[in-house]
């Protein structure tokens, strides 16, 4: 079920060459550019149909498995959902257990996690693994022994804070952020000393410029993002202190510009009538210095955010030919339904084209950079608004895309969901939900709830798309041999032709897949593909949490869209590793 191909995609000959392929996978995004592109070439479009299970490993967990398996040398590392065990598996012995690290997570943290007790994995650097625990600790673990090197507390579950995102290690900094926008937290991104775990800096998403780490070198491209202490003045008095804006998504890094890139989450509460103003710096893309956290530019994607669209999705860093000139760009497929292509040095929006079905806006004003909202779709007191598309999980949520240096295309796993919203009054009580909205989601046009799309970033168009019954909540990876892998919530792990979208192979795993596939070269010289199966997350909470499907407002309205998921999959965490015979 593909759409016709459009011309214009750049070719390998005019793209910046990817980093050398060493056969490992040391961070979930594969590299600082977040391309999730592999140069391994043993598995190709002709022989991928012969993939077989090489070995499996049970995590023993029944909640959502969103992490990426890492490979460093002859060892694979995986992180589970709560209680966030870190497993080291011996690749010379078909995944035999080498050691397990158990951080001792506070059980109470489960009660303040808005969208399942997931964890998106670890990152490796300089002999250590770094990851976050649900109860707001960042830990460093010796990669050889499993011994804890340091453990630093960064937040407070009693205030509704949790941590689920993947750290990024840049130079001597471990970059981490918090979750909890539905609990009235105050969002932040923090840089830790990689050797000691001590906090080096913290940049809040709201508050005075001194708290946001905005100083004299801050030069946003658009006028609307310029001004003093906008993180205070764009909120009702004091509301910025409980206004959300967490940093629970992805962080990328450009070594040449020496900038990290990340997005902040939704403002709280969801009811927009309770927080007039632009609510800076929620739903914002930031460029910062990794060592100090100093903000260099920012672009608020969603001023005032009426729909819980956030801005936390991945930022893929590539150099592309734009109008005859090679530009250093950032590709950001956002929950609002647009793929933003931005100049990553300045924060200028070069294009913002729709990749999903949208009723909530009509586009982005290129002069001001401001999203043009459809006012009739904005929720508020005293009304129920229907046909809000995309729904709150967006045309695409956290599930990360991949970029191919062979095809020049971005591969986007995403959703096709709409919703109706009735706004209510939200009262802030620390550590409790602070939402102010009753939501029911449902399938978008066509009835399919998910899609896997190949996107031409230069032409700003869909090349082909595959429709799926449920949201495509897994990540994806693409190889130099034009094979792209992704998983479905029914539990199918699929390989498709990256040029055409033709399905080449599939395997039914034991549970729905919401994890991030990776591929690596084993100690035996063979190429392998790995993915965690285990339904859950926001989309799969109806199964993982055993929710009553008679209440469509469960899981912040996602239950209504996933009533039939229990008919297709069951709980259970298993790592699957595939190879050619």
Active site residues: 182, 266, 308
Dig out the tokens for 42 from the structure.
């043993």
Per the listing, tokens 């967490």 go with: 246
Cα separation, 89 vs 76, whole angstroms: 5
Cα separation, 235 vs 207, whole angstroms: 9
Cα separation, 426 vs 422, whole angstroms: 12
Contact 192, 173 (CB under 8 A): yes
Cα separation, 258 vs 532, whole angstroms: 33
Contact 342, 299 (CB under 8 A): yes
End-to-end CA distance of the chain: 30
Contact 238, 244 (CB under 8 A): no
- Side-chain half-sphere exposure of 136, counting CA atoms within 13 A: 23
Cα separation, 523 vs 127, whole angstroms: 19
DSSP string, 348-416: -EEEEEE-S--SSEEEE-TTT--EEE-GGG---TT-EEEEESS-TT-SS-S---EE-TTT--EEEEEE-
Query: Which residues does 562 contact at the CB level (< 8 Å), separation at least 6?
Result: 449, 470, 539, 540, 542, 543, 555
Cα separation, 174 vs 276, whole angstroms: 35
Cα separation, 81 vs 116, whole angstroms: 9
3-class state of residue 503 by DSSP: strand
Q: How far is CA 559 from CA 275, 331, 386, 439, 562, in A?
A: 27, 31, 17, 10, 5
Percent of the chain as helix, strand, coil, to the nearest 5: 10, 35, 55
List residues bridging with 263 in a β-sheet. Answer: 285
DSSP string, 439-485: EEEEE-TTS--EEEEEEETTTTEEEEEEEESS---S-EEEETTSEEE
Cα separation, 237 vs 507, whole angstroms: 54
Dig out the tokens for 183 from the structure.
């609990």
Query: Which residues does 294 contact at the CB level (< 8 Å), separation at least 6?
Result: 213, 215, 217, 218, 288
| Of 334, 293, 333, 184, the residue nearest 246 (C-alpha) | 184
Instruction: Return the CA Rg of the chain.
Output: 22
């Amino acid at each position: 079920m593909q759409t016709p191909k459009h011309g214009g995609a750049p070719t390998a000959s005019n793209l910046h060459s990817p980093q050398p392929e060493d056969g490992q996978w040391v961070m979930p995004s594969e590299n600082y550019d977040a391309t999730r592109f592999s140069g391994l070439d043993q598995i190709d479009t002709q022989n991928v149909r012969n993939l077989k299970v090489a070995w499996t490993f049970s995590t023993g967990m029944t909640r959502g498995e969103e992490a990426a398996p890492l490979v460093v040398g002859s060892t694979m590392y995986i992180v589970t959902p709560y209680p966030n065990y870190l497993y080291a598996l011996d690749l010379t012995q078909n995944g035999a257990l080498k050691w397990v690290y158990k951080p001792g997570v506070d059980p109470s943290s489960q009660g303040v996690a808005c969208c399942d007790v997931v964890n998106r994995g670890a990152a490796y650097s300089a002999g250590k693994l770094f990851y976050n625990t649900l109860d707001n600790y960042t830990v460093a673990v010796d990669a050889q022994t499993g011994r804890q090197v340091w453990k630093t507390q960064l937040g407070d579950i009693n205030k509704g804070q949790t941590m689920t995102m993947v750290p990024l290690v840049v130079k001597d900094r471990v970059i981490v952020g918090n979750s909890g926008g539905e609990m009235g937290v105050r969002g932040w991104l923090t840089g830790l000393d990689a050797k000691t775990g001590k906090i080096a800096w913290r940049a809040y998403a709201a508050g005075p410029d001194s708290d946001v780490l905005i100083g004299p070198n801050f030069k946003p491209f658009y006028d609307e993002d310029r001004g003093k202490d906008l993180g205070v003045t764009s909120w009702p008095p004091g509301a910025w202190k409980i206004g959300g804006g967490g940093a629970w998504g992805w962080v990328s890094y450009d070594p040449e510009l020496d900038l990290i890139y990340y997005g902040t989450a939704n403002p709280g509460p969801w009811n927009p009538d309770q927080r007039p103003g632009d609510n800076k710096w929620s739903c914002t893309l930031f460029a910062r210095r990794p060592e100090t956290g100093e903000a260099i530019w920012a672009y608020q994607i969603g001023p005032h955010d009426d729909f819980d669209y956030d801005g936390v999705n991945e930022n893929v860093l590539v150099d592309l030919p734009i109008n005859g000139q090679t530009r250093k760009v950032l590709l950001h497929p956002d929950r609002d339904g647009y793929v933003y292509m931005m100049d990553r040095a300045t924060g200028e929006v070069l294009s913002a084209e729709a990749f999903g079905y949208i009723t909530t806006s009509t586009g982005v004003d290129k002069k001001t950079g401001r999203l043009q909202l459809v006012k009739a779709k904005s929720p508020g007191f005293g009304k129920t608004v229907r046909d809000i598309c995309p729904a709150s999980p967006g045309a695409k949520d956290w599930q990360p895309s991949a970029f191919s240096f062979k095809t020049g295309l971005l591969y986007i796993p995403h959703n096709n969901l709409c919703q109706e919203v009735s706004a209510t009054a939200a009262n802030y009580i620390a550590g409790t939900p602070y939402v102010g909205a009753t939501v029911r989601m449902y399938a978008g046009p066509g009835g399919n709830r998910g899609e896997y799309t190949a996107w031409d970033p230069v032409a700003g168009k869909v090349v082909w798309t595959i429709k799926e019954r449920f949201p495509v909540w897994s990540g994806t990876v693409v190889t130099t041999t034009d094979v792209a892998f992704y998983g479905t919530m029914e539990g199918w792990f699929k390989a498709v032709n990256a040029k055409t979208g033709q399905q080449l192979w599939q395997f039914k795993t034991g549970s729905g897949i919401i994890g991030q596939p990776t591929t690596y070269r084993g100690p035996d010289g063979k190429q392998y593909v790995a993915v965690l199966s285990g339904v859950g997350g926001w989309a799969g909470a109806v199964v993982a949490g055993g929710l009553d499907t008679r209440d469509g407002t469960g899981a912040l309205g996602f239950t209504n869209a996933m009533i039939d998921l229990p008919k297709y999959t069951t709980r259970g965490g298993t790592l699957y590793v595939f190879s050619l015979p």
